[in-house]
Structure 1
Amino acid sequence: MGRITTYVALGDSFTEGLEDPAAYGFRGWADRLAEHIEADHLQAGQPGLRYANLAVRGRLIDDIVSEQVPKAVELGADLVSLCAGGNDILRPGSGPASVAKRLEQGVRTLTEAGARVLMFTGFDLRHVPVMRLAHSKIEVYNLHIHDIARRYDALLVDLWPMTVFRDARAWNADRLHLSPDGHRRVALRAAEVLGVPVDADWREPYPVRRPPVWTAARREDLRWARTYLGPWIGRRINGRSSGDGALPKRPDLAPLTAADR
């Protein structure tokens, strides 16, 4: 696409940047993408980027479309990234078609407002215990996302075939959120889709390491279930979210500063 002067990121914990710590909280792929865009502008001697991130952990598709999308329209951004529906898909009883219908409403609203929309498919999580149970639902949802992107001429970052994300080093210990390096690689791929030059390759393989001993791997699975899976299920049963009471980290368009890096 052409020169990007304003960028607004919408979504949940993936876009908020959880588990990619920074001095100001969490960085994440969207902040990193904004930095790549900014660097490209400065390299060309152009004014910098103004950037907002409205994503909040735990948000469902209805929250994102009804609250974040209108704010992005109000801000009048050139580029809006929209990744939503993952939290819905992981909940029992949710249907990919109904979630996709709501996502399409958000894409249509943003497109009609004149923004170029950057969309994302879901990851292939068949290698993750428990998450593999949602594999088929994510796959079907991804088909809807491809169709929406095509019909609204949206840019698409297809995360599903990126085999580098099948390595545990791309993920945080909770197996739900990306590691800092995982966020770095998503930002590089998104920059590639946008045509923004970068100095690294998201395809770079991780160093080879020996697989863990079976018994050690099972002990780690049990520790993960106690530490992360149990609390996650408890929140779902009690109707709570990790983002209850949380606010967007960058609610308004503003230039990037040295503190953002």
Structure 2
Amino acid sequence: MAGPWNRYVAMGDSFTAGIGDPEPRSPGGMRGWADRIAEELSEGRRDFAYANLAISGLVLRQILDQQLGPAIELKPDLVTLSAGGNDLVFHRSDPDRLAATLDAAVGMLSATGATIVLFTGPDWGDTPLFGHIRGKVAVFNENIRTIAARHNGVIADLWTLRQLSDPQMWDPDRLHFSPMGHHTIAAMVLETLNVPHSLRPLQPKPLPSGGWRESKAGDVAWLTNYLLPWMVSRVRPRGDGAPLAAKRPQPGPVAGSESAVPHP
């Protein structure tokens, strides 16, 4: 049996929604590390259910306001929670204040008896534009470790996952992970939970010449085509009025979900 859990709920933002790992057959057209974990946990388990409440672009307070109550109501025995990345990267938020907000929410989740998995942020020290927040991420990570220890949580440590330093682990937008990155993260989480799994390290392709760390022209193209439009979308209301929706708002079988709401 792949772990003792019967009901898994994932909470978070675009990282947990699976952005960067396209799969037309998955709800919202994205797969991601959480789906990959659920696939492994559900192997041979007809009673296993999985919900993913993640919505792209949310900051920590929005994640807690919109997802904490529904997550508790779903009565999970396994919860993954990743939040705060958008706050640190795009809003220059104070990592200690973020942690204080997160601590109370993790306490509420832990009180349900569920296993709670928290994520540290990755080490962006070598990336072109995010290296300047490395110190804040490190402080936030130490706070997350303290919160996990206080509430008997489990740490999924992206900071020490050295494989993520390979550019092939990242989507071309450099904000999200590629399918290889999501696969690698899923394997790390399962191993952290001591769950046997069938995920095997991918054979990485040779790094192409002129990788993004060395290409100034590529940096300009990335800034113009990815980062600036993404930042504008965070502050400009959607013109079509379509609400942002959770990826899989109701727990159900991993292979397909009639109740899943498309992710915009």
Q: Do Structure 1 and Structure 2 share a fold, with TM-score over 0.5?
A: yes
Unaligned runs of 5+ in 2: 259-264
* Structure 1 counterpart of 2:245: 247
Distance 2:71 2:140 in 1: 24
Contact 1:119 1:154 in 2 (8 A): yes
Distance 1:115 1:106 in 2: 13
Bigger drift between 209-218 and 8-17 goes to 209-218
* Structure 2 counterpart of 1:234: 232
* Structure 1 counterpart of 2:23: 22
Distance 2:137 2:109 in 1: 24
Alignment of structure 1 residues 65-84 onto 2, 5 Å: 65-84=64-83
Q: For 2:204, which of 206, 212, 235 is the aligned residue?
A: 206
CA positional deviation for 1:213? 7.8
Aligned-partner SS, 1:177: coil
* Structure 2 counterpart of 1:56: 55
Distance 2:157 2:125 in 1: 16
Distance 1:181 1:55 in 2: 20
Judged with a 3 Å threshold, the aligned counterparts in structure 2 of structure 1 residues 239 and 215 are, in CA distance, closer, same or farther, namely: closer
Alignment of structure 1 residues 1-261 onto 2, 5 Å: 3-23=4-24, 24=26, 25-39=29-43, 42=44, 46-202=45-201, 206-209=204-207, 211-212=209-210, 217-235=215-233, 238=235, 245-257=243-255
Distance 1:250 1:114 in 2: 22
Distance 2:255 2:228 in 1: 39
Aligned-partner SS, 1:21: coil
Judged with a 3 Å threshold, the aligned counterparts in structure 2 of structure 1 residues 167 and 240 are, in CA distance, closer, same or farther, namely: farther
Instruction: Give the TM-score taking structure 2 as reference length.
Output: 0.88
Runs of at least 4 residues off by over 4 Å: 213-216
Judged with a 3 Å threshold, the aligned counterparts in structure 2 of structure 1 residues 252 and 209 are, in CA distance, closer, same or farther, namely: closer
Distance 2:255 2:120 in 1: 30
Contact 2:127 2:213 in 1 (8 A): no
Contact 2:148 2:155 in 1 (8 A): yes
CA positional deviation for 1:9? 0.2
Letter in 1 for 2:67: Q
Judged with a 3 Å threshold, the aligned counterparts in structure 2 of structure 1 residues 38 and 165 are, in CA distance, closer, same or farther, namely: same
Aligned-partner SS, 2:42: helix
Judged with a 3 Å threshold, the aligned counterparts in structure 2 of structure 1 residues 95 and 35 are, in CA distance, closer, same or farther, namely: same
Distance 2:155 2:212 in 1: 38
CA positional deviation for 1:144? 0.3
How many residues get paired?
Answer: 252
Unaligned runs of 5+ in 1: none
1:144-164 CA-partner distances (Å, limit 9, x unpaired)? 001111111101111101111
Distance 1:216 1:158 in 2: 27
Distance 1:168 1:196 in 2: 27
Distance 1:222 1:119 in 2: 34
Letter in 1 for 2:15: F
Contact 1:56 1:246 in 2 (8 A): yes
Contact 1:17 1:27 in 2 (8 A): yes
Aligned-partner SS, 2:215: helix
CA positional deviation for 1:64? 1.3
CA positional deviation for 1:233? 3.5
Distance 1:91 1:117 in 2: 26
Contact 2:212 2:218 in 1 (8 A): no
Distance 2:243 2:146 in 1: 34
Letter in 2 for 1:69: L
Judged with a 3 Å threshold, the aligned counterparts in structure 2 of structure 1 residues 218 and 75 are, in CA distance, closer, same or farther, namely: same
Distance 2:213 2:84 in 1: 35
Q: Provide the alpha-carbon RMSD of the alignment.
A: 2.5
Distance 1:215 1:101 in 2: 35
